Homo-oligomer: A and B are copies of this chain.
Amino acid sequence: MNQYNPHHFIAAGRNALPVDAGGLPWTGQYVFSSGNLILDLLHNFFLENTARTNKLRVYQMTKDPAAREMLGYLFVRGGVHAVAYGKALEKLTGVKMNEMLPIPRIGNAMFPEAKKYMDMAIHTKLYRQSPEDYRQMDQIWDGAHPDGGMCTVVDGPPMELAGSHVELAGIGSAFAPDYHPEEVFEMAQKLYKKAQNK
């Protein structure tokens, strides 16, 4: 049970709600959309680094390995977003934004949970899923990455991470039973009807 905000459990059980750690709901006022491209990019650059700062504090608050594993991955991929906005700003204005990274001044490589993804060069890759769209992405995502390596656009999903779901195989409660969807649905209906007849 949530020790900070009992409302979360009362309203949502184990479901997620779009609220912050203090229970305040997300608000449309968080969306910045000025119509000025440089200002909008600057806001996103700022936002990615704010997210990083907050995530560093969450890392500091928990020793839970699952949480830290997720944070390590997010440090690396969130870094891709920050660097991409910085590169876009540099292309348009000539200002070398990325020289102020990382914010805060603690590199991703210091966290073992992030370092392992950097060793796989995950921080240098932008994935393109559509066969036709976003073809000009490499106009912005190119050149050196501030954490080392060259920025590359990859066609298709991140295959180097593909095997990681297998890790769940041994954990009973996480392993989905080998039923066809229709069977699962049928069982749900039967359980429901049974409950109804109580």
A-side residues, CB < 8 A to B, are 1, 4-29, 31-36, 38-39, 42-43, 45-46, 49-50, 53-54, 57-58, 61, 89, 91-97, 99-100, 103-105, 107, 135-136, 139, 181-182, 185, 188-189, 192, 195-196, 198
Contacts and interface: CB of A to CB of B under 8 A. Distances in A.
A39 to B, nearest CB: 5
Contact of A5 (B22, B28, B139): B22
Copies of the polypeptide in the assembly: 6
B61 A1 contact: yes
Contacts of A27: 25-29
Nearest to A1: B61
14 contacts: A5-B22, A10-B58, A11-B34, A12-B34, A13-B35, A14-B35, A25-B29, A35-B53, A38-B100, A42-B46, A42-B49, A91-B189, A94-B99, A95-B96
A49 B38 CA distance: 10
A35 B7 contact: no
